[in-house]
Amino acid sequence: MINRGILIIFALLTFACEQDLAPISGCTDENATNFNPNAVTDNSNCIYFSTTPYTIEIPYGFPNMIIPQNNPMTVEGVNLGEKLFNDPILSADNSLACINCHDKSSSFSDPNQYSTGIDNIQGTRNASALVNIGWNSSFNWDGSAQSLEEQAFEPVTNPIEMHDKWQNVENKINTNLEYKDLFLKAFNIDYIDSNHIVMAIAQFERTLISSDSKFDRYIRGEEQLTPSELSGYAIFNSEKGDCFHCHGSQMFMDNRFHNNGLDIEPFTDLGLGYVSGNSNDNGKFRTPSLRNIEYTSPYMHDGRFISLEEVVNHYNSGGNYSSTVDPLMKKIGIGLQLTNEEKQDLVSFLKTLSDENFITK
């Protein structure tokens, strides 16, 4: 108010002194995004920075989503993030976007065992599904990133992925008028830096929420499960199958790392041990959510299993002993000893976690 008063007085003074010059007309409010310091008369066309808050609806049985204070969810940020996620501009030769290895129809995972980067080089791990990852406390199979923002920095510069340089990406995006406008509206910035690029992508990723599977409808009392699915549900939640200790709750994951007996030592991929440097963590990987598991083949950190039947067979045979194998794999070498029918029931139940709207809408 006082500022405006001073401006008006200033304007009047200027006007009074330079009557012979035509007054510059523009926005005279310095809080506006188009404030013109040279303007002396306000043209009533001030534009103010404002965003529309994006509200995350927390599904039944889920905790609150922890959103970084410096990156609040906005409709503008989410839409911008989705555009970036789908845009190959992030890769050095403009050929590869996030979506290419995180395919929507595969619940944002790669149906190929290993993803192929712009230089035709393959990695050694299967690209993770992006489903309900706003509730993850760490990212990547080995937990190497602690936030979605941090995670999004990595593939852009990874030589076997997008193989770009952030300065180059910034240069490309800053010469794109559409992005200039979208970043101004989402973050009120003139120069687009890498921080804001990953912030937008992270906002979009937090909206990838799946909670409308057949199982959810069953929990809500809207749909019945078949006898086979119910039998699988019971095996899943008993210590016979003992799936729930790692894939428990409505999230179907535990935000922890385990060695589930895939390999004997020495491990070819140290997983968490590579990140923590602690040999007790060797061979441990993040528990993936089982939501949409039907769509996210192949399975395990290295995509070694094509079908859910193979995954169930792994647990049914008990897996391999190693010094870091999880004590929850308590029937190591013996296995769950499920009958063929029980194994089929378990797979039927896992398929009730499929949310078709999530991969099609």
Partner 1 sequence: MDKYILIFLCTSLLFSCTKNEGCTDPVANNFDVNASLDDGSCDYNNYNINLHFTQSIESNPLIKDSLTYLNHSNINYSVQTLRYIISEIKLHKEDGTSKLIDSVQFINIADESTKKVTISDVTDLEYTSISFTVGLNDSYNVTNLFLNESFFPSFTWPEMLGGGYHYMQLEGEFQADLANGNPSFYNTHTGPTSGADFSFNKTFPIELYVINNQTDIYIDMEITNWYKNPELINYSSDGIMGNSSLQSKLKENGENDVFSVYSSE
Between 50 and 279, CB nearer to partner 1: 279
Binding of residue 69 to partner 1 (CB under 8 A): no
Between 75 and 234, CB nearer to partner 1: 234
Binding of residue 68 to partner 1 (CB under 8 A): no
Between 11 and 65, CB nearer to partner 1: 65
Binding of residue 334 to partner 1 (CB under 8 A): yes
How big is the CA angle at 73 (ends 68 and 76), to the nearest 5 degrees?
140
Binding of residue 64 to partner 1 (CB under 8 A): yes
Residue 143 region by backbone torsions, left for phi larger than 0, else alpha for psi between -120 and 50, else beta: left
Number of chain residues interacting with partner 1 (CB under 8 A): 30
Q: How far is the CB of 211 from partner 1 (least distance, A)?
A: 14
Q: Which two tokens stand for residue 155?
A: 């593939």
Q: Which two tokens stand for residue 263?
A: 């390999």
Q: How far is the CB of 135 from partner 1 (least distance, A)?
A: 9
Binding of residue 63 to partner 1 (CB under 8 A): yes
Instruction: Look at strands 285-286 and 257-258 and give their pairing.
Output: antiparallel
From residue 131 to residue 150, the character string flagging contacts with partner 1 as x (rule: CB under 8 A) and all else as - is: --------------------
From residue 287 to residue 316, the character string flagging contacts with partner 1 as x (rule: CB under 8 A) and all else as - is: ------------------------------
Mark the segment that binds partner 1 (CB under 8 A) among 58-66, 81-89, 145-153, 190-198. Answer: 58-66
For 42, how many CA atoms within 13 A lie in the half-sphere containing its CB?
A: 15
In the range 225-264, which residues lie near partner 1 by CB under 8 A? Answer: 233-234, 237-240, 242, 244-245, 248-249, 251, 253-256
The C-alpha torsion from 244 through 334 and 260 to 243, rounded to 10°, is -10
Binding of residue 342 to partner 1 (CB under 8 A): no
Between 46 and 329, CB nearer to partner 1: 329
Between 58 and 97, CB nearer to partner 1: 58
Count of residues making up the chain: 361
Q: Taking a C-beta distance cutoff of 8 angstroms, is the pair 139, 145 a contact?
A: yes
From residue 177 to residue 216, the character string flagging contacts with partner 1 as x (rule: CB under 8 A) and all else as - is: ----------------------------------------
Residue from 22, 178, 327, 360 touching partner 1 (CB under 8 A): that is 327
Binding of residue 265 to partner 1 (CB under 8 A): no
Binding of residue 321 to partner 1 (CB under 8 A): yes
Binding of residue 331 to partner 1 (CB under 8 A): yes
Mark the segment that binds partner 1 (CB under 8 A) among 27-35, 55-63, 76-84, 99-107. Answer: 55-63
Cα distance between residue 49 and residue 39, in whole Å: 19
Q: How far is the CB of 326 from partner 1 (least distance, A)?
A: 8
Binding of residue 278 to partner 1 (CB under 8 A): no
Cα distance between residue 137 and residue 129, in whole Å: 15
Residue ranges that bind partner 1, judged by CB under 8 A: 61-64, 233-234, 237-240, 242, 244-245, 248-249, 251, 253-256, 280, 321, 327-334
